[in-house]
Amino acid sequence: VSFFFYKMNNKLSGERVCAQYVANERIEESELRDWCSRFLAPHQIPMEFKQVGKIEKLQNGKISRNQLAELHI
């Protein structure tokens, strides 16, 4: 499983943490939250999780957090 965390703007709550992940099979959101709660501070635990086939990278090999936030919608 590969995770990538990013911030997404929300009209009501301001910024919130979201996560995209790549996995071969579906993972229950409760399992993802449990894992995050063991390794992340409470304010870093994502509000939303999205499973994707792959996480797109820029030409230089980096991941654009802004692009992920736009694609998350």
Q: Could you tell me which residue, 3 or 66, shows the higher pLDDT?
A: 3
pTM greater than the 0.95 cutoff = no
The residue assigned the tokens 């996995």 is 23
Q: Under a CB-based contact definition with an 8 Å cutoff, are residues 35 and 47 in contact?
A: no
d(CA 31, CA 66) in angstroms, rounded, equals 26
Tens-digit pLDDT profile for residues 17-55 = 999 999 999 999 999 999 999 999 998 999 999 998 888
SS3 70: helix
Residue 70 has pLDDT above 90, yes or no: no
Antiparallel, parallel or unpaired: β 48-51 and 14-22: parallel
d(CA 31, CA 53) in angstroms, rounded, equals 19
